[in-house]
């Protein structure tokens, strides 16, 4: 089966810009897959999604959705995709249900089908009692759910979701996650851009991490986490008591089984939090780590075990520097 999304050597340079926003990006998304597109601010995610949804013209390379080249045949491509943007862009002159029906009609969905689909999607998104509500009277979570319903009404092959749970309360977030997971069984391909690593780890079959318009890595969240040096982590919160903080990573790396040490507290924080990536069973290292610190009269206020997460992978690949 052809990939649902196929990006080959994609390049985008905005006019007057000195560098490429997308710089030779290639990846594929399989039909029915939930794909997480991750990257720091300015990495080129929105530009890539913009190209795939025909809103941005590529400078070079190719991009296909559902087998259709987005630059060569944007009209056909638009029938294949739907976008749920981060900001509410519902039509405020229409009520909730009319927003769905109007969108379906724009995409050529037949009259009875669009009314049937509107009711079905309102129910599925927990909005059956909001059919006649004005857009301005919907909560942020309800508006978000209505935008997902609107995106699905013309039965797109690929759904692009931009930060789907930003600003949602925990219940709404779980609800939206459940609906996204349901799409997998409906065979809808989902491309999810998010800065929420828990969300990406939970929902994505595979994630691609981009930075500076290039793909840094692409794999399942589990494989990426496994690829981190060390199989677990030990977090240590300490007060150096005069011991040179710069010498701490070295001191702790010398403990048998510690593979890498990273400072996770900000530079100006008097309390130091260090994350130790360990190859051995992390629990077995608590004693030796505490001992090494104690011998240098370093106060330990907390020592805890943790498993690495997708966030650790992300930080390892893209660094801690603010963009
Ligand atoms: N319309 C535009 N004109 C000029 N430069 C742009 C335009 N849109 C984006 N850029 C630049 O292209 C680069 C990639 O931006 P893009 O918005 O694609 O990144 P992003 O990964 O989506 O970031 P974020 O996570 O902040 O949404 C950035 O350097 C940005 O400043």
For the chain, the average pLDDT equals 94
ipTM over 0.95: yes
Residues of each domain in the chain carrying CATH 3.40.50.300: 5-225
Specify whether the CB–CB gap between 86 and 163 falls below 8 A.
Answer: yes
- Banded pLDDT at 285 (limits 50, 70, 90): very high
- Nearest alpha carbon to residue 245 among 267, 221, 227: 267
Ligand 1 atom index nearest CA of 213: 14
Looking at domain 229-307, which CATH architecture does it have?
A: 2-Layer Sandwich (3.30)
The pLDDT > 90 percentage for the chain reads 83
Mutate to test the pocket of ligand 1, among 20, 37, 43 (most ligand atoms within 8 A of CB): 43
Residue nearest ligand 1's atom 24 by CA: 41
Report the C-alpha gap between 120 and 142 in whole angstroms: 16
- Banded pLDDT at 283 (limits 50, 70, 90): confident
Residues of each domain in the chain carrying CATH 3.30.70.980: 229-307
For the entire predicted model, the pTM comes to 0.85
Ligand 1 atom index nearest CA of 47: 18
Q: How high is the pLDDT of residue 322?
A: 77
Report the C-alpha gap between 19 and 39 in whole angstroms: 17
When the candidates are 3.40.50.10890, 2.60.40.1730, 3.40.50.300, 3.90.960.10, the CATH number that belongs to 5-225 is 3.40.50.300
> Per residue in 143-163, pLDDT tens?
999 999 999 999 999 999 999
Report the C-alpha gap between 257 and 276 in whole angstroms: 10
């Amino acid at each position: 089966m052809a990939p649902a999304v196929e990006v080959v050597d994609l390049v985008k340079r905005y006019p007057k810009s000195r560098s490429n926003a997308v710089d030779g990006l290639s990846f594929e998304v399989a039909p029915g897959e939930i794909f997480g597109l991750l990257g720091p601010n300015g990495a080129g995610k929105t530009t890539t999604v913009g190209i795939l949804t025909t809103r941005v013209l590529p400078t070079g390379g190719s991009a296909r959705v559902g087998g259709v080249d987005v630059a060569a045949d944007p009209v056909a491509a638009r029938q294949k995709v739907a976008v749920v943007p981060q900001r509410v862009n519902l039509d405020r002159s229409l009520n909730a249900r009319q927003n769905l029906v109007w969108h379906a009609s724009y995409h050529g969905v037949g009259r009875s089908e669009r009314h049937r689909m509107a009711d079905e999607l309102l129910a599925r998104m927990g909005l059956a009692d909001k059919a006649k509500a004005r857009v301005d009277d919907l909560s942020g979570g309800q508006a978000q759910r209505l935008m997902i319903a609107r995106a699905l009404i013309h039965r797109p092959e690929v759904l692009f979701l931009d930060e789907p749970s930003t600003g949602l309360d925990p219940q709404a977030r779980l609800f939206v996650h459940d609906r996204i997971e349901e799409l997998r069984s409906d065979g809808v391909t989902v491309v999810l851009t998010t800065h929420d690593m828990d969300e990406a780890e939970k929902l994505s079959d595979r994630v691609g991490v981009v930075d500076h318009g290039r793909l840094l890595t692409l794999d399942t969240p589990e494989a990426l986490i496994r690829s981190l040096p060390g199989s677990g982590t030990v977090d240590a919160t300490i007060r150096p008591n005069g011991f040179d903080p710069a010498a701490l990573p070295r001191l702790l790396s010398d403990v048998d089984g510690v593979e890498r040490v990273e400072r996770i507290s900000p530079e100006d924080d008097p309390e130091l939090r260090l994350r130790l990536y360990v190859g051995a069973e992390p629990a077995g290292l608590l004693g030796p780590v505490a001992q090494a610190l104690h011998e240098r009269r370093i106060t330990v206020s907390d020592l805890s075990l943790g498993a690495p997460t997708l966030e650790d992978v992300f930080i390892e690949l893209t660094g801690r520097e603010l963009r």
